[in-house]
C-alpha cells in the first residue's frame, strides 16, 4: 500500500533550496550519491567484523552508474546494506534531525558548496538536477523491499516493492534543458566519467559503467556496430598510498570532500609516509571552519584507522589529543592487527608512537603556517584558537609547554593578534611582567581605568576576551622567565618617579573617609585606599596580588 507523507519543516526548506537551485556546482550531486553508496557498503563491512553470520567478499561489492538518454534517467546502484522502511523515512524524510537550516542561515551560505555534504543532506542534492527522485532499497536480512519517491515538493510516497538483491537503487529523472542549464551532460557517459574521476577516484569500491563503443561488424571491412563494454571508472588506489609528487592540491581537497570530513576547504594538508620503529602512512587535514557540532556530544573526535588498506575503525580518538580534535584524516599502518579491539588500542605501543608523531607533525605544520603565512594562521586561530587555549588549561597544564608558542592574543600596541614571543621581543628592559587585561571585548578593555598607567608608560597589554584566557595563563604562570600580571593587580611592579607616588600620605590623610567607604562596601571589598595607577579616572577595582 502506497502512503504519502509530509516532509518535516527543515526538509521542506532544504528541498526548496535544491529544487530552485542556482548553484554553480550542480555536478557534485553525483559525488554525494556515490559517497552514500560507498558508506552503505562500508556498513556491511562493519557488520562482518562483529557478526559471524555476515560475510564480506570484496568482489561482491560495487557501485553501478547507469544513464539512459531515452528515458532521461540516471541510476546509481549499490550492493550495500540497504534500508528498511523505517530507515528510508528517517534518513530521507528528516534532515539530520538537527539545526541544519539554522546553521545555513547563520553562515549566510552562498551556494550549495557550503551545505551539501553536511548533516546528511547530500542525498537532497539530487533534486538540483532531477524532477523526480526514486529510491528502491532492500535491507540486509530483510525479505521486504521498499520504494521511496518524491518530486521535491512537500511530500514523498513510500510503498512495498520487489527487489531481488540487497542494496539500494537511486533513480533520478533528469530535468530537461533550460536556457541557463544543460542537464543532458548528466546523461552523457564520458561527462559522468569525468565527474567520477574528479571527485570519487579514491572510493575503495569499484564504480562501474557501461560505455558505448564501436567495432567492425563481423565479415565487414567498413560497417561498424555499437556495443557496450563495462569499465571500472575509479582507480581505487587510496590517495595515501600514492606519492606526493603524483597529487595536486585539488586531489587532496576532493578526497577531503569525498570522505565527508567537511564541506569547507581544508587550509592545510599533511601527507606523512613514516618508516622506522613503526611504519605508517597518513593524510591529515586542518579544516578552515569549526564543525557546527564541535562542542556537542555528537561530535566524533579521531582519525580513520586502517591496517594495510583495510578499515579497522571509523574514528580512532586515541590518535589525536583533545586540543587537536578538529584535525581530520586517515592513518594506515601495516604494523597494526586487523583484530585489534578498542580496549587494546588504548594500550597499543605502536599506536601510541603513531599518535605522538602525528601530534608533533600537526604542531610543526601550525608553526610553519604561523611563520610563513600569518594571515592564514590568523584565520585558523579564529576558528580553533579557543581549543588550543583549552588544551593549555586542561590536564592541569601538562600540555602548556607544547602549545604556548601557538597562542595569540590581541595587543594594545599592535592593534591585532600577537604571539607571546612577539610580545616578549618588544618589552622594554625595565618591564618586569607580561601585562594582560580581561574583559568582554576589546572595546570594553580599552576603557578600563586600570590600563591607564601602563599605556602611559608605553607598555604593551594583552587583551583577554575569552573566558578561558585567564585560566590558561594561570597554568602557564611564566613565559621565558617573565611572569604574567593582571592590570587589576594592586602591585603592577612599576617603579614610579620620586614624589610621584603620594598614596601613602593620602591614605593617612583620608583614613576616616576610606574606613567609612570600606564599611559601606562591607563584604564587597577588602580595603579602600589611594591608587597608584589611576590618572584620569576617579576609581578602579584591583586585586591584592
Cell of 7: 516532509
Q: What's the helix, strand, coil split of the chain in %, to 5?
A: 40, 25, 40
Backbone angles phi, psi at 52, to 5 degrees: -65, -20
Q: Please give the DSSP secondary-structure letter assigned to residue 526.
A: S
Residue 120 marked ligand-binding? yes
Residue pair 177/183 in contact (Cβ under 8 Å)? The answer is yes
DSSP state string for 322-385? GGGTT-EEEEE-TTS-TT--HHHHTT-HHHHHHHHHHHHHHHHHHHHHHHH-HHHHHHHHHHHH
Asked whether the beta carbons of 351 and 318 are under 8 A apart, the reply is yes
The reply to whether 83 sits in an annotated binding site is yes
Q: Is 152 annotated as a binding residue?
A: no
Residue 342 annotated in ligand binding? yes
CA torsion through residues 401, 405, 411, 416, sign: negative
The angle that helices 374-393 and 349-372 make with each other, rounded to 10 degrees, is: 140
Does residue 182 have a known ligand-binding role?
no
Residue 177 assigned as binding residue: no
- Provide the Cα torsion 258, 282, 361, 274; round to 10°: -160
Q: Is there a binding annotation on residue 29?
A: no
How far from each other are the two terminal CA atoms of the chain, in whole angstroms? 77
- In angstroms, the CA 226 to CA 5 distance is 44
| 32 annotated as belonging to a binding site for a ligand | yes
Q: Does residue 115 contact residue 109 with C-beta atoms inside 8 Å?
A: yes
36: annotated binding-site residue? yes
In Å, how far are 46, 52, 84, 514, 520 from 88, measured between CA atoms? Answer: 20, 26, 6, 74, 69
Nearest in space to 206 (alpha carbons), one of 69, 30, 77: 77
Please enumerate in sequence order all residues whose Cβ is within 8 A of that of 31, keeping only pairs 6 or more positions apart, or say none.
195, 199, 200, 257, 258
The SS3 call for residue 75 is strand
Cβ within 8 Å of residue 300, ≥6 positions away: 314, 315, 317
Report which DSSP code applies to 543.
B
Which of these, 148, 166, 165, lies nearest to 156 by C-alpha position?
148
Length of the chain: 545
Do the strands 280-286 and 268-274 form a parallel or antiparallel pair, or are they unpaired? antiparallel
Q: Give the Cα separation of 172 and 244 in Å (integer).
A: 37
Q: Is 121 annotated as a binding residue?
A: yes
**Contacts (Cβ under 8 Å, ≥6 apart) of 364:** none
123 is in an annotated binding site: yes
Question: Residue 297, SS3?
Answer: coil
520 annotated as ligand-binding: no
Q: Which residues are annotated as a binding site?
A: 32, 36, 78, 83, 91, 98-99, 118-123, 168, 342
Q: Which residues are annotated as a binding site for ATP?
A: 32, 36, 78, 83, 91, 98-99, 118-123, 168, 342
Amino acid at each position: 500500500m502506497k502512503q504519502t507523507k509530509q516532509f518535516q519543516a527543515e526538509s521542506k526548506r532544504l528541498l526548496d533550496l535544491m529544487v530552485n537551485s542556482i548553484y554553480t556546482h550542480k555536478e557534485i550531486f553525483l559525488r554525494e550519491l556515490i559517497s552514500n553508496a560507498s558508506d552503505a557498503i562500508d556498513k556491511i563491512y562493519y557488520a562482518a567484523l562483529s557478526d559471524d553470520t555476515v560475510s564480506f567478499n570484496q568482489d561482491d561489492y560495487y557501485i553501478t552508474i547507469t544513464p539512459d538518454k531515452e528515458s532521461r534517467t540516471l541510476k546509481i546502484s549499490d550492493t550495500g546494506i540497504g534500508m528498511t522502511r523505517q530507515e528510508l523515512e528517517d534518513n530521507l524524510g528528516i534532515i539530520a534531525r538537527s539545526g541544519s537550516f539554522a546553521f545555513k542561515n547563520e553562515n549566510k551560505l552562498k551556494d550549495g558548496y557550503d551545505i551539501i555534504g553536511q548533516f546528511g543532506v547530500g542525498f537532497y542534492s539530487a533534486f538540483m538536477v532531477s524532477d523526480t527522485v526514486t529510491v528502491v532499497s532492500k535491507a540486509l536480512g530483510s525479505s521486504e523491499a521498499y520504494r521511496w519517491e518524491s518530486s521535491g515538493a512537500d511530500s514523498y510516497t513510500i510503498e512495498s516493492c520487489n527487489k531481488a538483491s540487497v542494496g539500494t537503487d537511486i533513480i533520478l529523472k533528469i530535468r530537461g534543458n533550460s536556457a541557463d542549464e544543460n542537464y543532458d551532460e548528466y546523461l552523457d557517459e564520458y561527462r559522468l566519467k569525468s565527474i567520477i574521476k574528479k571527485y570519487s577516484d579514491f572510493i575503495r569500491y569499484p564504480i562501474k559503467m557501461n560505455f558505448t563503443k564501436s567495432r567492425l561488424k563481423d565479415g565487414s571491412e567498413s560497417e561498424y556496430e555499437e556495443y557496450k563494454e563495462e569499465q571500472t571508472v575509479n582507480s581505487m588506489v587510496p590517495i595515501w598510498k600514492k606519492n606526493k609528487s603524483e597529487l595536486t592540491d585539488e586531489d587532496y581537497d576532493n578526497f577531503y570532500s569525498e570522505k565527508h570530513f567537511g564541506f569547507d576547504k581544508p587550509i592545510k594538508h599533511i601527507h606523512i609516509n613514516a618508516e622506522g620503529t613503526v611504519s605508517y602512512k597518513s593524510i591529515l587535514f586542518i579544516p578552515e571552519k569549526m564543525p557546527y557540532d564541535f562542542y556537542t556530544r555528537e561530535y566524533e573526535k579521531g582519525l580513520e584507522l586502517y591496517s594495510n588498506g583495510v578499515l579497522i575503525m571509523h574514528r580512532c580518538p586515541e590518535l589525536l589529543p583533545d586540543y587537536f580534535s578538529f584535525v581530520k584524516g586517515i592513518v594506515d599502518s601495516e604494523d597494526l592487527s586487523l583484530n585489534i579491539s578498542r580496549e587494546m588500542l588504548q594500550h597499543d605501543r605502536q599506536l601510541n608512537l603513531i599518535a605522538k608523531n602525528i601530534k608533533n607533525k600537526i604542531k610543526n605544520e601550525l608553526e610553519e603556517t604561523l611563520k610563513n603565512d600569518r594571515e592564514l594562521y590568523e584565520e585558523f586561530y579564529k576558528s580553533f584558537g579557543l581549543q588550543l587555549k583549552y588544551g593549555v588549561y586542561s590536564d592541569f597544564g601538562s600540555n602548556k609547554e607544547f602549545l604556548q608558542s601557538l597562542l595569540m592574543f590581541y595587543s594594545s600596541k599592535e592593534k591585532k593578534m600577537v604571539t607571546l614571543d612577539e610580545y616578549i621581543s618588544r618589552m622594554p628592559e625595565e618591564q618586569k611582567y607580561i601585562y594582560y587585561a580581561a574583559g568582554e571585548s576589546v572595546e570594553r578593555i580599552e576603557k578600563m581605568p586600570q590600563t591607564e598607567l601602563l599605556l602611559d608608560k608605553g607598555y604593551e597589554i594583552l587583551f583577554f576576551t575569552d573566558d578561558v584566557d585567564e585560566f590558561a595563563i594561570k597554568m602557564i604562570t611564566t613565559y621565558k622567565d617573565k611572569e604574567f600580571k593582571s592590570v587589576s593587580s594592586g602591585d603592577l611592579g612599576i617603579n614610579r618617579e620620586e614624589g610621584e607616588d603620594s598614596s601613602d600620605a593620602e591614605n593617612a590623610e583620608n583614613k576616616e573617609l576610606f574606613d567609612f567607604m570600606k564599611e559601606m562596601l562591607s563584604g564587597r571589598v577588602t580595603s579602600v585606599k589611594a591608587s597608584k595607577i589611576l590618572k584620569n579616572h576617579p576609581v578602579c577595582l584591583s586585586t591584592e596580588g
